[in-house]
Structure 1
Amino acid sequence: MSLADPFQKFQDWFTQQWAIVWGRKIKPESFTWLIGPFGKTDSTGEDFINQLAEDGGLTIQRNTTSQGLIPSIEKLNLSEKDLKKLSAKVIDFYQNTGNYHLNFSVKWNPAFKIFGSLVNILFSNRINQLNIPTGNVGASEQINSEIITLSNPHTGDIVYTFWYRTFKSSGQVLYSGVYTTCILPSGKACVKAIFPLPKGNATVIMSPHVGPKGELQLKSAGKNFGDPGFYFLLNDSKKNFWAQYISSFHDELTVFSRKNKIFAEQTLSLWGLNVLRFNYEIAPKGESG
């Protein structure tokens, strides 16, 4: 039986061992649509970004307003009809994300609050990642939103695009993730968000759709490995790659424009039950939210 690396925190070892037992061993070259950067046990948050750049000989550019989560909306392979229908403001947000700031609120299903508290205690506070407040937060909470790119110094090509989000009030990291697109084995183009964790990552793959009012709907809901959804990846003690697909966990995000403003609603659900909901107000930097 394969084992997770024993030289780490027990809670990290335990979750990785669970993924080994219930997941599958993979060869990275056969799953390029899924593979992304893995975290380290000795670096988190900004330190991980700096170390990733150093290890790869990459150049870091911060606070850029000319970069987005994806380089072009055309990477989503939407139909011509959907592209014409999609809100121009939503397109600009995804292509120039660094030019926007966010206000956000969060509302928990009371039944899952204890789960959120445990995740924060065991993982989030320590690794400076996925720090979701466990209390309901009003819309006045402001998020510092920064795009950080790591590029090849010789060609100028961007290798990684991080969306680095921190609470303005405390500086604590909310999310630090790599954003890109991928093509699933089915041929479907999706948005991919990768959140580095010790010796692995949590990867969310979201299928894009355009709603009747020009909104962009991103859904991570599927049934089988290779579908959109949530994946947990890791290296075991012998550096083998493992991946576990969590079909019971869904993430649905809708980004839309109303009255010249941009809003987003995000719902996370588990076993068909809503766990929590985020609401975002998105505005160009220099304007009030």
Structure 2
Amino acid sequence: MVTSLLDLGTRKFWRAAGRPVDLTGEHGWLRAPTSIGAVVRDGWLAAEAALHGGYVDDAASDAGLLASMAVLDGPGFRADDLRPEVRDFYEHTSAWHVEVWSSWAPWAWPGGELVSRLFGKRVEQLALPMRPLDVARGMDSRVSVIRDRSGTQVAAGWLRTLVATGEFVFSGCYSARSLPGVDRPSVHVAFPLESGNVQVFLRPHVLPDGSLRLVSPPGPFGADGAYVVVEDGGRTYASRAPVHETFHVHLDDRGVLRTDHVLRLGRATAMRLHYRLERAKPA
């Protein structure tokens, strides 16, 4: 009862902070999967595939978050300029092993712990690791490809669970999507929640050394960044969220693929994550 009221109160907050949106028309760029229950896990995959008249493909041993990084090509970005290892990770994510370390800013840790206890661990979604030992035994990574009726990949679910407990940490839907009036697509990540979702639009950049930078900056409604979408009272509402992220996917001096992930609230750095990526299966 208490948790139901908490979830309802959260939806009411984002309804008040947001604006009404039409996901079947003007704001179709915000349409993304939601969870039919309070506990998310991977229950949204089949419904999302059905929406495309397709199916969930778990058979591919080297499935990627994107079928090809070339879907992001446009003015200022060419997938061919990426290091082969960076491109391979996104196109064959299932073939890679992921290790992660986390570090919270002291001022943000209490709030992060509260959100983790009240929401993340309970709903098994966006359960950010609060302590380095939380992920000491590793994190499993599974990619489920969502295909349309013709077999074309339209999205991918990236499901990450703790090896020690099997609990879901993240359950995200990855695709390429264009925002209104932009000249090239962004990486779109949606995290389903009951009666809503959290979405992030990440602008891709190739750096001179062939590394990849993905950025969700501050900006107006309709630009790259983070959004919260909720369904309440028969209508849908969306709001920009003051969460900004940067990912830098690069090779270190020893040829190891790594990712530095910085999460900011406003202008202040709240959390840093570091990933070591190793190809577990031959290319």
User: Are 1:269 and 2:242 matched, yes or no?
Assistant: no
User: Is the 8 Å Cα contact of residues 220 and 229 (structure 1) preserved in structure 2?
Assistant: yes
User: Are 1:282 and 2:277 matched, yes or no?
Assistant: yes
| Selected match of 1:251 from 245, 249, 269 | 245
User: Are 1:144 and 2:144 matched, yes or no?
Assistant: no
Q: Which runs of 5+ in 1 are unaligned?
A: 1-5
Task: Name the SS of the counterpart of 2:138 in structure 1.
Answer: strand
Residue 112 of structure 2 aligns with which residue? 116
Aligned partners of 2:81 and 2:261: how far apart in 1? Answer: 21
| Selected match of 1:181 from 176, 180, 190 | 176
Deviation track 1:233-262 (CA, whole Å, cap 9, x = no partner) reads 011122x1110112x310111101233321
Residue 31 of structure 2 aligns with which residue? 35
Residue 3 of structure 1 aligns with which residue? none
Aligned CA distance change for structure 1 residues 72 and 131 (closer, same or farther; 3 Å): same
Could you tell me how far 1:158 is from its partner in structure 2? 3.1
Matches within 5 A, 1:223-262: 223-238=219-234, 240-246=235-241, 248-258=242-252, 259-262=254-257
Task: Name the SS of the counterpart of 2:203 in structure 1.
Answer: strand
Could you tell me how far 1:57 is from its partner in structure 2? 6.2
Across the aligned residues of Structure 1 and Structure 2, the Cα RMSD in angstroms comes to: 2.5
User: Are 1:164 and 2:155 matched, yes or no?
Assistant: no
| Selected match of 1:131 from 117, 120, 127 | 127
Aligned partners of 1:80 and 1:253: how far apart in 2? Answer: 18
Taking only the aligned residue pairs, the percentage that are identical comes to 25
| Selected match of 1:192 from 181, 185, 188 | 188
User: Is the 8 Å Cα contact of residues 67 and 153 (structure 2) preserved in structure 1?
Assistant: no
Could you tell me how far 1:169 is from its partner in structure 2? 2.0
Could you tell me how far 1:53 is from its partner in structure 2? 5.0
TM-score by length of 2: 0.90
| Selected match of 2:102 from 106, 112, 131 | 106
Aligned partners of 1:10 and 1:118: how far apart in 2? Answer: 16
How many corresponding residue pairs? Answer: 279
